[in-house]
Amino acid sequence: MEDKILMVKNLSVSFSDDNGKIIAVDDVSFTLEKGKILGIIGESGCGKSTLALSIMQLLPGKISKIEQGAILFNKNDLVKFKEAELENLRGNDVAMIFQEPMTSLNPLFKIGRQVEEPLKIHKHLRGKQLKDKAIELLKIVRITNPEKVYELYPHNLSGGMRQRVNIAMALSCEPEILIADEPTTALDVTIQAQILFLLKNLNKEVKTSIIFITHDLSVVAEVCDEVMVMYGGKIVEQSDIFELFDNPKHPYTRGLMDSQPSKGECGKPLSSIKGMVPSFSNMPSGCSFSTRCSEKFCERCSNEKPQLFNIGGNHKVACWLYEKEEVNIE
């Protein structure tokens, strides 16, 4: 359908080294609707960045592989794209703000030159037109004194300013999809709020569809329309944002919510999910959360992977507790 700008179908991604192969993204399917913000949350190492890098087709060459699946952007499968087609797509139709704002700019080049780069390649701008557009982009991301910043090097800027420059570059060609991988994690709270406000505005004004990756539930609640919870490379819960916060179903999602600082009652210690995320080489054969789940109730929890049960609306949960609640959708 036309309003589905990105459809990821049964995507699995592996990493291999001398110790063997792990599946970091395991049979993941989801849809990004045009003009919507989709949040992806989950603890460190659950496969969020790997999923993002697969969409950009920027996985590290020799050690990673797309084992199966399709990534349909406007109905074209990016997995089958040739490198030249991908170069044309990246930064132009699909752009990414990377996880690390302090290192994702080239220290050797001035800010202006770096913001101009995608405009030169994809929009073929030159001369005054190019410079004017770069300065306009710096203004859009609320950089004060953009003419001066244009002449500066990354080391002259604070973390918040650098992340704004990254966002300006990502937005330069008005991409249809923006993937923001933890764009505010390394920043202080005030700057974080400003960046979130900026992304929300861009989504509203320019209708850019956004995939927003974070491990901060409060950030998801603030900016996203829909959310996917990942654990051990799989989606374990997926729903509209209000439904997820009103009615979290998966024991892992509930654990994440209970361990948010805002949930702590005065004087009581904050609750946490017991145990550690198992390593990918040691994933349980049944439900990936079974080694930490306080609601584990049957043999199948340990032996059989639960599928994502659709329990109505857009709400899906990968947990045997909800098998009987599954609704049939045509």
Binding site for ligand SF4 (CB under 6 A): 251, 287, 289-290, 293, 295-297, 301, 306, 319-321
The candidate with the shortest Cα–Cα distance to 211, out of 10, 40, 4, is 40
Measure CA of the first residue to CA of the last residue in the chain; give whole Å.
15
Binding mask 48-67 vs Mg ion (x if CB under 5 A, - otherwise)? xx------------------
Q: What is the CA radius of gyration of the chain?
A: 21
For position 24 contacting ligand ATP by CB under 6 A, the verdict is: yes
The CA-CA-CA angle for residues 151, 208, 135, to 5°, reads: 15
CB of 48 to ligand ATP, least distance (A): 3
When binding is defined by CB under 6 A, the residue of 49, 57, 184, 290 that contacts ligand ATP is 49
Count residues binding ligand ATP (CB under 6 A). Answer: 16
**Which of the choices ligand SF4, Mg ion, ligand ATP, none does residue 153 contact, using the CB cut-off of 5 to 8 A by kind?**
none
Least Å distance, CB 27 to ligand SF4, is 16
CA dihedral of 241, 243, 244, 248, whole degrees rounded to 10: 170
Q: Which of 287, 231, 233 is nearest to 256 (CA)?
A: 231
**Min. distance of Cβ 281 from ligand ATP in angstroms?**
8
Residue 320's binding partner among Mg ion, ligand ATP, ligand SF4, none (Cβ under 5 to 8 angstroms by kind) is ligand SF4
Residue 69 CB, nearest distance to ligand ATP (Å)?
A: 16
CB of 232 to ligand SF4, least distance (A): 11
Residue 290's binding partner out of ligand SF4, Mg ion, ligand ATP, none, with CB under 5 to 8 Å set by partner kind: ligand SF4
Size of the chain, expressed as the number of residues it contains = 330
CA dist 118 and 124 (Å) reads: 9
Q: Which is nearer to ligand SF4, 215 or 254 (CB)?
A: 254
214 binds Mg ion per the rule CB under 5 A: no
Choose, by CB under 6 A, the member of 35, 36, 45, 260 that binds ligand ATP. Answer: 45
- DSSP for 54-72? HHHT---TTTEEEEEEEEE
Three-class DSSP category at 259: coil
With CB under 6 A as the contact rule, which of the stretches 40-48, 67-75, 241-249, 299-307 interacts with ligand ATP?
A: 40-48
Cα dist from 197 to 188, 194, 239, 294, whole Å: 14, 5, 23, 37
Closer to ligand ATP by Cβ: residue 24 or 149: 24
Candidate residues 4, 7, 9, 15; the one interacting with ligand ATP per rule CB under 6 A:
15
Q: Which of residues 95-124 bind ligand ATP (CB under 6 A)?
A: 99
Q: How many Cβ atoms are within 10 Å of 157's Cβ, its own excluded? A: 19
Task: State the virtual CA torsion across 302, 45, 214, 285 in degrees, nearest 10.
Answer: -20
Identity of the residue, 43 or 323, whose beta carbon is nearer to ligand ATP in the bound complex: 43
Cβ contacts of residue 308 below 8 Å, gap of 6+? 235, 238, 316, 317, 318
Q: SS3 for 263?
A: helix
Task: Give the footprint of Mg ion on this chain (CB under 5 A).
Answer: 48-49
Task: Give the footprint of ligand ATP on this chain (CB under 6 A).
Answer: 15, 22, 24, 42, 44-50, 60, 63, 99, 215, 280
